[in-house]
A and B are shown apart, each in its own frame.
Chain A
Amino acid sequence: MEDSIVDLTYALEAFRYLLGFVPVTLALAVGSMFLGSLLGLAVMFVRWRNVPILGKLGTGYVVIGRALPTLIILYVVFFAFPVFLLYVNDGQVSERFNAIPPFLFALVGLTLHSGAYLAEVFRTAVQSVNKGQMEAALACGMTWSQGFRRIVLPQAAVLAVPLMGNQFLSLIKNTSIAFMITVLEMFGAANYLSSISERYIEIYLALAALYWLVGMFFETLFRKLEVRLAVYKGSKV
């Protein structure tokens, strides 16, 4: 197989090697998606309810967070946060700074990135629910939060889930930039492997296949969830 362009046996070998880094990629994606959802939900709330100061901060965050390239957010977290730590620690360099794993910086950076997008996803989803739904809940004697949890949220979720799926798929691919701050995930591992074997085509084909498989898996998952949540719409979905 020396003379063929693509050595499939080696590609398979690379695939197996890269498979070992799927958990890191998924931990980053799932972790920042989860934390980003909480952040996005909180930001959506403070903006929706016009909470003094926090509402404005939320809007600023959404505008800036979505305008900045994800890599810059990651760099800011990775390089600027230690400077901040240095500042609050009265300029004393502490051993503990270095003990913070890069994975954590990547997680925080990607959370900040997805939180800004998800805040908008949640905002549009909640706004898409007819105002009369909350009014009916209140008129029945429910409190605002009961009405939100039981009536508005389940309906908003139907719209939010496909958008969240979108966000999550792009997030899986975005985790590859964590490699820029030394986190060894799928992309980083491929990069490392190819710098040794110099079999770029096989390795990146295997990597692409792996991203594709992971993506397909979650796409199906979100699709199923969407159908399940939309039961009340009859046969419309």
Chain B
Amino acid sequence: MLALKDIYKSFGTHEVLKGISCTIPTGSVTVIIGPSGSGKTTLLRGINFLEPADKGTIILDDLKVNVEKAVSEEIHRLRQETAMVFQSYNLFANKTALENITEGLLIVKKMDKRQALEKARYYLNKVGLADREKAYPSQLSGGQQQRIGIARALALDPKVVLFDEPTSALDPELVGEVLDTMKKAAEEEHRTMLVVTHEMAFARDVADHVIFMEGGYIVEEGSPKEVLYSPREQRTKQFLARFRSTAL
């Protein structure tokens, strides 16, 4: 279980997160929606300290980290027990598709080479790219890169996979393949996933829990049915109105 308690973060005088608390139960998919600048990505990047928050508590099973007093061992452990899928994929440009996945297994998980290769190939196959294992990221499409990004994250067996707008940088016709891959991870492997996205259909179909954020606050949360179809808050209604005609 991942729990966040009273997370605050400012960039200079601009307060981006104003006391965020939420719980992501093990094996569930939580989707965070909200307008740009609402703090969704900052929240996600605060969890693995790529963008350390200013104060608050992050709890991941038995690990409890006070953000303000976090020591490097705690930060390192949080990073080892989570994995992230980035908006711009961020595959290691100097590594092949296969090496992108084995890298963390060999260096972080200290697996032996044969085991790591086996696991990497399993996940490459899972994301439908078994035939591209020798390709470098520069030789792959955005959708393929992102699927490898997902394979890289899943192979590390993290307690939580953090998805930071995984389809926002993709051409529209490539979005589907990435969402399908994520859906498979949720449904077949029961991964604990925290997903920041603008894909309302994904939230509707895959999420167990939806959080609507705006202006650094959680405005509303609940099941996809509650939040997406009968939101209580005016702000949520206004935000969703834009999607009403198309995705939902």
Contact = CB atoms under 8 A, between A and B. Distances in A.
A234 B94 contact: no
A234 B93 contact: no
B83 interface: yes
Contact of A150 (B107, B136, B152, B156): B107
Nearest to A143: B76
B80 A133 contact: no
A132 B90 CA distance: 5
Interface in A122-148: 130, 132-133, 135-143, 146
Most central of A137, A141, A155 by chain B CB within 10 Å? A141
Contacts of B88: 132
Nearest to B137: A232
B92 A234 contact: no
Contacts of A133: 90, 92-93
Interface residues of B, number: 29
Contacts of A232: 93-96, 136, 138
A139 B96 CA distance: 18
B103 A140 contact: yes
Contacts of A210: none
A146 B162 CA distance: 22
B104 interface: yes
Nearest to A131: B90
Contacts of B152: 140
Contact of B104 (A132, A141, A155): A141
B138 A151 contact: no
Interface of A: 130, 132-133, 135-143, 146, 150-151, 154-155, 232-234, 236
Interface of B: 48, 50, 76, 79-84, 86, 88, 90-96, 103-104, 107-109, 136, 138-139, 152, 156, 162
Closest 4 CB pairs between A and B? A141-B80, A132-B90, A136-B90, A141-B108
